[in-house]
Amino acid sequence: MRVAIYIRVSTTEQAEEGFSIEGQKRRLLAYVESQDWTIAGIYIDEGISAKDMNRPKLQQMLTDMEQDLFDCVLVYKLDRLTRSASDCDGLLKRFEAHKVVFQSATESFETRTATGRLFIRLISELAQWERELISERTRAGMEQMVVEGKKPGGRYPYGYDKNGQIVEEEAEVIRHIRRLYMQENMSLRQIALALPPRRGFLWTPGRVADVLENIFYAGVIRYGTKLPNGKFALPRKRDLLVECLESAGTHTPIWTREEYDEHVRLLRSRSEGGWSRNQTYWFTGLLKCGRCGAAMFGKMNKGNSPGAGTPTYLCHRKHHNRSCDMPMFSQRHIEHLIFDHIDSIVLDSALTDEEQKANRKKSDYKEKEVIRIKRDLEAVRERIKKWQYMFVNDLLGADDLRERLNEEAEKQKELNKALSLLGPNKGQNDVTKQQLLHMRDIWPTLDDGEKQEALRILFESITVHTPLTRPKGVRNRFFESSVEVVYR
């Protein structure tokens, strides 16, 4: 029997044993082997809730089902597929229409009999009830904490320790940031360069802006979600635009509320007057249109749509002469596709490792040279960070910094040229796999500039493909699409 494996984790479940991607994958592969089935495809939706059907890999699986690519859908548990009773009923009907069997690896039911189908529908009703009950309880608990002046979960921001007590040295840095912005009239970038490292990390303009915009420093607890129009709404109540909850916190403030309102007004006025913070487009110079081959450039999405205020990418030919009908891609969409691609590489390498070993014909010399050059490139990048750190701490003058950076740039150019002479690597050798895994692990800790640099280290180009021309709906960033990459 040809089987399609479907795996899903939501953000809150990724760390839970048994529900992680690796945990589900390991158990499902063992189940397939025990049944002597053939894997027709593996579909993984990472960090996406099962509250609806707007999941890219689920939609791809349903499309493949219509093309008769498999005979059975296998999941770890029913709630990995859906937590909605109505969606469950619709999926079962679609499976039946295409003569596809549904099977859970940990629950004793199937869709071959009327009793099995009834039991599945009852289980899905309970899963939906559980999801809604947990959501209501969580929101009520968070709101009550805010009413009592307590922080509703999460880490305390820079300036406070893990118990919510002020760290005076860090609090003085926060006050200094406000003085530089209000009294010295410095830009966010100038402030970032003037500050010492923060807990081992260099400041960035984005981090400076986050500090100035954080109302927690003004002694206020806020629970809600910031919308593109600048308003705030409680989670899961965006359509109603219910004002978020605010209350005086029990923590010691670093600014007064009047000071906070004053510098936030200045931030807003500068943003509207062309002083908006510099947004780094992570994929600029890498992204290509899969329809016409032209480069895709970054621009800020404007308007009142749910995606307003976020970076997007547009085909150059579409922008200049409308000769291409490739739709826009949000930066978050491209990010999702890249990490989905990385997961597929890791999975494929695990399933076909023996085949890859048999077909690997790359010379040892070339592999060693690639490793050596990339190690030298990493050393250059570390030295660049050291020169910048010395400049920020007045240990190096501007002229000396410029001279050293020019030297490092020449070394980078020579190393990249030597690497290119070894030939483009369009496969995934062991070094590239380890780099991809490393990038996936450290990605959440990187700022915009570091993310852009990490992508350029690994990729020569990224080509996006989609059969759609005008995708509709709120979730356009997750419409049907894929990427094709060329590694450095």
Q: Do 448 and 206 form a contact (C-beta atoms < 8 A)?
A: yes
Catalytic residue status for 323: no
Q: For 64-73, what is each residue's pLDDT tens digit?
A: 999 999 999 9
pLDDT band at 277 (very low <50, low <70, confident <90, very high): very low
Query: Which pLDDT score, from 0 to 100, does residue 109 have?
Result: 65
Tell me: the pLDDT tens digits for 443-482?
887 777 778 888 888 888 899 998 888 886 544 457 888 8
- The predicted structure's pLDDT at residue 462: 92
Residue from 10, 104, 124, 330 carrying the catalytic annotation: 10
Residue 197 in contact with residue 203, Cβ under 8 Å? yes
Q: Higher pLDDT residue, 6 or 394?
A: 6
Contact 10, 49 (CB under 8 A): yes
- Range with the poorest average pLDDT among 6-20, 378-392, 421-435: 421-435
User: What pLDDT, in 10s, does the model give residues 323-348?
Assistant: 888 988 888 889 889 888 887 776 65
Which one is predicted more confidently, 257 or 423? 257
pLDDT number for residue 236 = 46
Domain definitions of the chain by residue range: 2-135, 168-275, 329-487
User: Across the chain, what does the average pLDDT equal?
Assistant: 76
What is the mean predicted confidence (pLDDT) over 278-283? 71
pLDDT digits (tens, 9 = 90+) for 66-102: 999 999 999 988 778 877 766 777 788 888 889 898 8
Model pLDDT for residues 165-195, shown as the tens digit of each residue: 889 999 999 999 999 988 888 888 888 888 8
pLDDT band for position 434 (cuts 50, 70, 90): confident
Check: pTM over 0.85? Answer yes or no.
no
Longest pairwise C-alpha distance within the chain: 79
How is domain 168-275 classified at the CATH fold level?
Hect, E3 ligase catalytic domain fold (3.90.1750)
Asked whether residue 128 carries a pLDDT value surpassing 80, the answer given is: no
| CATH assignment, 2-135 | 3.40.50.1390
Dihedral sign for Cα atoms in the order 129, 132, 135, 138:
negative
Q: Stretch 429-455: mean pLDDT, rounded? A: 76
Mean pLDDT value across residues 367-371: 76
